[in-house]
Amino acid sequence: MKGSKSHELEADVPAAELWKIYGTLRFVELVHELLPQSYKEEFVRIDDGNRVKEAAVIEGDILNLGFTAYVTRFEIVEKGPGASVIRSTVEYEYDDGRPELEAAASTAPLAAAAERLVQYVKDQNTAQQASA
């Protein structure tokens, strides 16, 4: 069985500023600081032009639950000069005999990370303006 779930967060931060974090390894460091994870993933797509990043889980709790595939996608969509949308998506697969896994697939951790990363970018911009 295949499925997907998405979450969108409107941010009053320019898309280019968000991508400076999402498009780099700093993103991984910050997410691991903010949200401890019990799985390993590898990035399978990084598209700087479209501001899209995808990672596939390769081992850990998510797969141990019974998912046969679990991919996260982050898209940073420009909504104007000072606004953007962070679209976080999980795509997953599991055996037909495990319908309870549908409820286990969640964008909640991705949504929480998005909110915290927006605040991180704002804090960094405030600190830079204060020191200028």
> 10 Å Cβ neighbour count for 125?
13
Q: Are 86 and 76 in contact (CB under 8 A)?
A: yes
What's this model's pTM, rounded to 2 decimal places? 0.91
Q: Are 88 and 114 in contact (CB under 8 A)?
A: yes
- Mean pLDDT score across all residues of the chain: 92
- Annotated catalytic residue, options 2, 53, 79, 122: 53
Q: Is 117 exposed, middle or buried (0-12, 13-18, 19+ CB in 10 A)?
A: buried
Is residue 53 annotated as a catalytic residue, yes or no? Answer: yes
Question: How many independent structural domains does the chain possess?
Answer: 1
Give the range of the structural domain holding residue 35, as residue numbers without chain letter.
2-131
Residue 14's domain is classified under what CATH number? 3.30.530.20
pLDDT of the chain, 132 residues: tens digit per residue: 999 999 999 999 999 999 999 999 888 888 888 777 778 999 999 999 999 999 999 999 999 999 999 999 999 999 999 999 999 999 999 998 899 999 999 999 999 999 999 999 999 888 888 886
